[in-house]
Chain A
Amino acid sequence: MVEEKKFHRQFNYAFIDERTKKEIRRKLLKAVCIPGYQVPYSSPEMPIARGWGTGGLHITLSLIGKEDTFKIIDQGSDASVNACNLRDFVKNTTDCDTTFETSKATLIQTRHRITEEELKAHQIMIFQVPQPEPLRGVERYEKKTREMHAEADYAKMWVSLYESFVRFGDIMRGAGYPVKVNGRYVMSPSPIPRWDIPNLSDAECLYLFGAGREKRLYAVPPHTTVEPLEFEDVKFKIEQFEGLKCEITGEQIAFLDELYGSDGKTTHVVNDSDFMDQIKEKERPIQWVNRYLTEKIEKTFNKN
């Protein structure tokens, strides 16, 4: 390998070469210009396997500079293996600051969660996406799904949701609930829980999505309408966690993880590790506001 003499390193700043970064940057701009549309990109080789967060990593490394503060979470946790390894990799190749605190971060890479704390206009959230195509479950060929998106032909998707309701009495999509962006494209929000879906709509921050294995980028700009697909008589709803609270903090209004003890008992804790730490050590951070959460708060506290 040719040594990078300027910085005494054996790789370019932020690992990816500048030519590829430019390609990713151009594609990201186009993704922002067409909210919800999947832009194909090169998905260069990384030192981790595709499917382990390369899409998110490509976006992060294309955007990041020395002045950024980087945070990465995996299923809400700063401490999981995927998050720790990718954080070390980004830190080693960029010398940027890293943090666990959501409010201090400028770039937040995430796997399968949106932070419980509301994000601000200067922040960018980057999703690692395993399957970017929301129509793949109803149409196997890429050429066909491209045509369906081009013609805004989402009939098969609606039928699949209807069939799910007929068979099971509900729309059986827990994570990755399909949404319509800006009234045009149906988009996979990556496997975030239903709890997080309303936070995509009309947010202050920019959401970027990268699917490295599938070689697709897409985006949801701030103040963009993102609507979960629902029927007039079968409405979208978020997880309720009725009667449950966090074992450690007593928090009731947060997405909860279910834990199994050695005695067979189940307990629940707040899924977002920074949100839980802030509640424990400082004060409760400002949470997202959406009508589903408001209903949940009213229901919880009126009952109590």
Chain B
Amino acid sequence: MIRETNYDHLFESQKQYRLLLDCMAKPGVIAKLDSDINVPDGLNKASALVAFALLNSDVCFCNTMNQEALNAYFITNTSASPAESDVADFIFVNGAKPDVKKVSVAKMGLPAYPESGAFIIIDVNQISESPLQDAIKFVLTGPGVKETKDIYVVGISIALLEAILERNVEYPLGVDTIITDKSGAVFCIPRSNKFKYQE
């Protein structure tokens, strides 16, 4: 169990939230989240910072990476409670080896209350605006994007992307995605974005 005593829950979470809001408002914009924290193995630091900025005891999360250490880490530092993926407000997924079944039952909200759809936070190896080897190219279009925007991601499974697209078919129902990489880079894909991918 790691308690992050260096993290400033007031000013750091405010700064990181503003970056997240900017990324969500402008899909395809890449921001860097950084802080002096010691995350457990198997979790990107940026994903932990997303959790610190957004989670508290009012919400529940599902850690599909299924490591007890990660659950204990989130509970200790955010007070959020663990839950099954079909009721969780936040689902943490490993992009390369995802538990697609859990994402495919993620909450997508109700017609009168679509905001109750889940956030999916995906850990990948690398995110870039320029082409990378073995990367999947995302072509983003929709609100927040002027015409189209291309983003290259290394370490994300096609099955996971298909599961997210499937969840977002009945817009405004759907899930909202936050993708983080090992260097702290983050970009967002709100459900309103009609993204396509190319291998």
Contacts and interface: CB of A to CB of B under 8 A. Distances in A.
A12 B144 CA distance: 33
B132 interface: no
Given A23-B58, A26-B54, A32 B25 contact: yes
B25 A206 contact: yes
A267 interface: no
Residues of B in contact with A, size category: 35 or more
Interface string B40-59: 00000000000001111111
B53 A221 contact: no
A58 interface: no
B176 interface: yes
Q: Helix, strand, loop or mixed for chain B's interface? A: loop
A221 B10 contact: no
Given A39-B115, A222-B26, A184 B176 contact: no
A154 B55 CA distance: 36
B171 interface: yes
Interface stretch (B16-24, B61-69, B122-130, B156-164): B16-24
A21 B144 CA distance: 24
Contact of A35 (B10, B117, B192): B192
Contacts of A184: 171-172
Contacts of A30: 115, 117, 176
A60 to B, nearest CB: 12
A145 to B, nearest CB: 9
A147 B115 contact: no
B114 interface: yes
A149 interface: yes
A136 interface: no
Residues of A in contact with B, size category: 35 or more
Nearest to A182: B143
Given A25-B54, A147-B112, A184-B172, A35 B143 contact: yes
B60 to A, nearest CB: 13
A25 B144 contact: no
A34 B20 contact: no
Nearest to A106: B18
Contact of B11 (A26, A34, A66): A66
Contacts of B10: 12-13, 18
B143 A221 contact: yes
B192 A182 contact: yes
Given A19-B58, A221-B144, A33 B24 contact: yes
Nearest to A41: B115
A26 B143 contact: no
Interface of B: 9-11, 13-15, 17-18, 20-22, 24-26, 53-59, 110-115, 117, 119, 142-146, 171-172, 176, 190-192
Given A22-B54, A182-B143, 11 more contacts: A12-B10, A19-B57, A22-B55, A28-B21, A29-B119, A33-B190, A34-B115, A150-B112, A182-B192, A221-B143, A222-B146
